[in-house]
Amino acid sequence: MDTTLQDPLVGQVLDGRYRVDARVAVGGMATVYRALDTRLDRVLALKVMHPALAADGTFVERFIREAKSVARLAHPNVVQVFDQGTDGSYVYLAMEYVAGCTLRDVLRERGALQPRAALDILEPVLAALGAAHRAGFVHRDMKPENVLIGDDGRVKVADFGLVRSVNTVTNTTGTVLGTVSYLAPEQIEHGIADPRVDVYACGVVLYEMLTGDRPHGGDSAATVLYKHIHEDVPPPSAAVPGLAYELDELVAVATARTAARRPQDAVALLAHVRDVRLALDADQLDAMPPQALAADHRDISQDRTSVIPRALTTQRPLPVNEDDVHRTSLLESPPPLPPRRRRGAGGRRGPVAIVLAVLLALGVGAGVWYINSGQFTKVPPVLAKSQSEARRQLGDAGLDLGKVEHAYSDTVKRGTVISSDPVPGTRVRDNASVTLTISDGPETVRVPDLEGRPLARARAELKQAALEPGMVTREFSDTVEKGSVISTDPQAGTERHAGSAIALVVSKGTPVDVPDVTGEDLQEAKADLQDAGLAVRVAPERVNSEFDKGQVATQTPAGDGRAAEGDTVTLTLSKGPVMVVVPDVTGDNVDDAKRTLEDAGFKVDENRGLLGLFGDTVKDQSVKGGDKAPKGSTISIKIR
């Protein structure tokens, strides 16, 4: 059954811009949709917080923190955030849409991966986390569900919703936030969240890729947490005999239970991974694992991001139920190590080629591999072409686009080809792969002064300056016209790497006070709001409230707040109060009577008078027992 058809957001346009086309995934905090940016005509992912959580300041803060954190990371292996905003009760992020699958999908379908494929997925993940770590952030929820593999073989890290600054301690709340199968011991016991918790999680993910299963199992969250604290992650060769001991050592280093024994961050672990790769020969890298158990046989609760009571993390496990709730500067992938000769005759295949091979085995993508012996062609002239143009020319010549690398250039336009390998004109066999190096433009550029520019023009000027428009937030301004830029982050004149995302603060215009119209008749409420320069929308549903039928029960935004001139206020009308049968409490003592009436949903007023000052028995009540009264209204009881 297609539940997408039942989703009320599908087919709607959020914020007058984002058309929601299909539901992609549902989590404990938000739902992800495929949407179309109708202004820029591009497909993107829209992450919409569940409306029930939008009133919770803690959840909204975490949601906004994700947007701001990721917007500061300009890295090819991080899912980019384009925009953040609200539309009525909906709080959303507009993000890059990655067509493909997750690492969890790959593991469920294939079980264990070859070591080469596992390392080719791990390296870009570590490059992305390294950029975050060097920028001062910790992901805190690394797991296969948050590793996206595009149809073109690119690997990206998603869901920075739990991101925190380095060295953040969260034990003041008495809970641990994360996914039980990937939590580091110090995360469980003390709430410490420095870069080494991401290193630990990556070690667990590597173990899972090599074996097809997680290292610590159990029938409850408490059991798994206990094992993380008290048991080492076993060597993957114990589950898959024949794996190289260097891989055992790599997993052991990354998952050391003592944080000080792990690499200090993802950059250090990435260097270790590359050393291990160079130490392995082709047979060790391409060792075919046995058909390990697919990951979907495990308790699905271990895949969820959860809030776990701290008590579960420090005591020996008992049968409990898990409560689910759901540089050196590094702004690009670390440069490759100098080439060294490796044992064995087999050369290393590019990471994209390996990942594409995994995707093709899963039936993802539309490529068809074939060999025509004896067929040759020449590499076409692709220099100074865009990546899409170069891909098209290679396809026309019967060649495949292989690895895509990036480099800075002061002379070659950003986004166009600097060089190819083999070089243009080289005679190669049909279906050979050609590696392209794409220009990222100058290594550093200055942020232009965009104050007062309309948003569309500001975005165009950023692209002309070899920068990317980042997250957009909106603020009131008495001096800057509505829809124009108030400021940028970083500010104008700051030097940044080409391709960096620049956050924009855009004016919502001069603020107006929103009148409180709750309790008013609809026509009166409309007149008051329109007089204030605001538009009015009446919600189709009605709710019970203390107000009479047809009067305004609630409004969004609330009264006495602020909005921009022309903004829309949504009114929800009342169905009238809920009528409740009043209990008969005559003859009861005062305490019992009050308790009975309050349990029924009423407020209670004691009417003692002079004769009832020392009495304790209800002689009469303002609404007779058995009659109905509005829920929440006051029942007066006379005491004698």
State the SS3 of 313-334: HHCCCCCCCCCCCCCCCCCCCC
> Contact at 8 Å (CB) between 155 and 147?
yes
Residues 263, 272: contact at Cβ < 8 Å?
Answer: yes
Q: Identify which of 277, 136, 138, 261 has the alpha carbon closest to the alpha carbon of residue 206.
A: 277
Indicate if 560 belongs to the active site.
Answer: no
Taking the C-alpha atoms of residue 561 and residue 478, their distance in angstroms, rounded to an integer, is: 17
Q: Please report where in the chains the tokens 């203390």 appear, as a residue.
A: 546
- What is the rounded distance in angstroms from the CA atom of residue 191 to the CA atom of residue 173? 9
Q: Which of 105, 120, 141, 440 is catalytic?
A: 141
Report the alpha-carbon distance of residue 623 to residue 611 in Å, rounded: 21
Cα(183)–Cα(417) distance, integer angstroms: 42
Residue 278 to residues 269, 288, 384, 470: CA-CA distances in angstroms?
14, 19, 33, 37
**In the 8-state DSSP scheme, what is residue 233?**
P
Q: Which conformational region is residue 533 in: left (phi greater than 0), alpha (psi within -120 to 50 degrees), or beta?
A: left
Give CA–CA dist 160/72, Å, rounded: 12
Q: Are 35 and 95 in contact (CB under 8 A)?
A: no
DSSP 100: E
- Give dist(CA 419, CA 639) in Å, integer: 94
**Burial call 263-273: b when 16+ CB within 10 Å, e when fewer:** bebbbbbbebb
Letter for the amino acid at 543?
V
Q: Are 104 and 303 contacting, i.e. CB atoms less than 8 angstroms apart?
A: yes
* ω into 557 cis (within 30 of 0): yes
d(CA 474, CA 503): 11
> Edge-to-edge strands of the sheet including 618-621?
603-607, 634-639, 618-621
Sequence-distant (6+) residues with CB within 8 A of 334 are 127, 130, 267, 270, 271
602 touches 579 (CB < 8 A): no
Could you give the C-alpha distances from 472 to 143, 459, 555, in angstroms and in order? 29, 10, 26
* Whether residue 490 has a cis bond before it, omega within 30° of 0: yes
Query: How far lies 169's CA from each of 107, 175, 192, 279, 321, in Å?
Result: 32, 11, 5, 38, 26
Q: For the chain, first and last CA: distance in Å?
A: 64
Token pair listed for 584: 């008969």
CA 370 – CA 280 distance, rounded (Å)? 29
List phi, psi (to 5°) of 437. -110, 120
Which positions are catalytic?
Answer: 141
